[in-house]
Amino acid sequence: MNEAAKEDGFSTKSRDRGSMSRFSDKLKAAIQRTHGCLCVGLDVDLEKMPRALPKDGEGILRFCRSIIEATRDLAAAYKPNMAFFESLGAQGFEVMELLRQSVPHDALFVMDAKRGDIGNTSQAYARAYFHLLKSDAITLSPYMGKDSIEPFLDYPGTCSFVLCLTSNPSSADFQLQELKGGEKLYERVAKEAVGWGQGKKGEVGLVVGATQSQYLKDLRKWVPDTPFLVPGVGTQGGDLEGVLKEGRSKDGYGILVNVSRQVLYASQENDFADAAREQAKKLVDGMKPYFS
């Protein structure tokens, strides 16, 4: 990246977590600021980027910064998917660091990495995403159990969103399987994962797909205060109204609804940022009745 990419007027305020409030408090403040719970997913596919931008790291950075600038008053959070940046090779992490600096200080930065390992491997992942990148939250796989999640909970003001009931079609292969005693696997994951966060510096949240709205009401009853990250609204067909009606936490907040393609790729022409803003505003307008 050239120096011009680093100095373009975006906020680079310190994000020292020593004095930060809990993640749930920061989430509530972000929702109150924007009157919505929109999380803009930065799933940057080179083939879908606007035609005028170069298909490389510079182009991705320019694209994401333009989206952020166009939606900064509408988005409570931004969620880059690490896979698309890793595909750039060594340049990818540098782009991610510069992108992190571009996110407004009052918006949340959720790293979609889906990590999950044990011991010093998880400690290294946690250091990379929470200490170096100063992420506010990360997505994690619970498959290896409690000790794969615990290292992420040592960082105050953060949230570890554990994959619980996802929006992909084959999620039922495991997540809806019935255990001995009648409990479904996703139910066990929810209850166990929330327990892992008790008394820790960081919080545990759950990833619950918008296409699984028939289970959302019951899940929220079991974990009334847990932050939810909800993908699947928009292109994947999730019902925004149903998600907001059933998915908010006990205090009326506690939810981020992630939308990626509907916002990112609203246009492939030079008006892509304006088109992204239009889609983001439409989504937030639909959220406002639940947060006013």
How far is the first Cα of the chain from the last one, in angstroms, to the nearest whole number? 42
Domain boundaries, the chain: 19-290
- Of 70-74, 152-156, 165-169, the range with the lowest mean pLDDT is 165-169
Could you give the C-alpha distances from 283 to 42, 43, 152, 169, 214, in angstroms and in order?
16, 18, 31, 24, 21
* pLDDT over 90 at 131, yes or no: yes
Q: What percent of the chain has pLDDT over 90?
A: 83
- pLDDT, residue 234, reads 65
Looking at residue 132, the DSSP 8-state letter turns out to be I
Do the Cβ atoms of 143 and 193 come closer than 8 Å? no
Looking at residue 130, the DSSP 8-state letter turns out to be I
Do the Cβ atoms of 5 and 54 come closer than 8 Å? no
Do the Cβ atoms of 43 and 84 come closer than 8 Å? yes
Q: What is the pTM of this model?
A: 0.92
Looking at residue 233, the DSSP 8-state letter turns out to be B
Question: What confidence category does residue 4 fall into, taking pLDDT thresholds of 50, 70 and 90?
Answer: very low
Looking at residue 177, the DSSP 8-state letter turns out to be P
276 HSE (CA, 13 A, CB side): 32
CA 143 to chain centre: 19
- pLDDT, residue 10, reads 37
Each residue's pLDDT tens digit, 238-275: 789 989 999 999 999 999 999 999 999 999 999 999 99
- The dihedral region occupied by 247, where left means phi > 0, alpha psi between -120 and 50, and beta the remainder, is alpha
Each residue's pLDDT tens digit, 43-91: 999 999 999 999 999 999 999 999 999 999 999 999 999 999 999 999 9
Q: Within a 10 A sphere around the Cβ of 24, how many other Cβ atoms?
A: 19
- The mean per-residue pLDDT over the stretch 19-42 comes to 93
Looking at residue 32, the DSSP 8-state letter turns out to be H
Q: What are phi and psi of 77, to 5 degrees?
A: -155, 160
- Computed over every residue of the chain, the mean pLDDT equals 91
- The mean per-residue pLDDT over the stretch 174-203 comes to 95
Kind of pairing between the strands at 203-208 and 159-165: parallel
* pLDDT over 90 at 205, yes or no: yes
Tell me if residue 114 is catalytic: yes
- pLDDT, residue 20, reads 59
Tokens representing 38 are 């929109």
Which residues are CB-contacts of 133 (< 8 A; sequence separation ≥ 6)?
96, 97, 100, 109, 111
Q: Which of 6, 26, 114, 221 is catalytic?
A: 114
- pLDDT, residue 212, reads 77
Question: What confidence category does residue 1 fall into, taking pLDDT thresholds of 50, 70 and 90?
Answer: low
CATH topology for 19-290? TIM Barrel (3.20.20)
- List beta partners, residue 163: 207
Looking at residue 193, the DSSP 8-state letter turns out to be H
Per DSSP, helices labelled H in the chain are 3-6, 23-34, 57-71, 82-86, 90-102, 119-126, 146-149, 185-196, 213-222, 240-247, 261-264, 272-287
Do the Cβ atoms of 89 and 42 come closer than 8 Å? no
